[in-house]
Copies of this chain bind each other. A is one copy, B any other.
Amino acid sequence: MTVAQEFEAANEKYAATFNEGGLPMPPARKVLVVACMDARVDPAKELGLSKGDAHVVRNAGGRGIAAIRDIVISQQLLGTREIVVIHHTDCGMLTFKDHELHAKVKSDLGENADHIAWLSFSDLEKSVAEDVVALKKNPLVLDVPITGYVFDVNTGKLTKVEA
C-alpha cells in the first residue's frame, strides 16, 4: 500500500465533515509565510492561521530567496502585503554543505546538479537575517514589512531575528 492510498482514506473522512468551502482566493490577512518543508513544522498551528488567512510557501530550509516566484505571484496577483520568514532548529539544511550534496548526486545518481543552489546554512539566525535582507533588497519584492523568526521544534516557540 502506498502512502498516497492512506492519504485517500484519510481524505474521505476529512471531506465527510468539511464545512470550510466558499472562501475567496486572496488571503484574508494579506500575508505570505515562508517556512521549511520539515515534517515537524506546521505553520497553521504555530501561527494560529485559519483557512483562508495566508499564503504558506514551504521549501527546504524555508529559504525566502528560493521563493521569489511565489512572492511575486502573491503580491502582484493576490494582494499580500507582508512577509514572514521562518527557519527552525534541528533543520536538515544545517547538516550538510552544498558541495557535499553536489558530490553525492554525482556519485549516487551519476548526474550533475551543480546548477542547483541547495542553499544550505550553518547558522540559523544568520540564514534568517540573510533571507530578510535579500528580500528587502530584491526589486521584484514590494516594500512591505518583512519579519524573520526561528521556530524551535522542541518547544514550539518562535523567536524573532533582527535583520
Residues of A within 8 A of B (CB): 2-4, 6-8, 10-11, 13-15, 18, 20-23, 25-32, 37-42, 44-48, 51-60, 66-70, 72-74, 76-78, 82, 84, 90, 92-93, 95-96, 101, 104-105, 108-109, 111, 113, 116-119, 139-140, 145, 147, 153-158, 160
Copies, count: 2
Q: CA separation between A109 and B145, bound complex, in Å?
A: 18
Q: Per a CB cutoff under 8 Å, which of B8, B20, B116 touches A72? A: B116
Residues of B within 8 A of A25 (CB): 38-40, 90, 92, 95
Contact: B139 with A48, CB < 8 Å? no
Q: CA separation between A38 and B69, bound complex, in Å?
A: 14
Contact: A101 with B77, CB < 8 Å? yes
Q: Per a CB cutoff under 8 Å, which of B37, B47, B59, B73 touches A11? A: B47
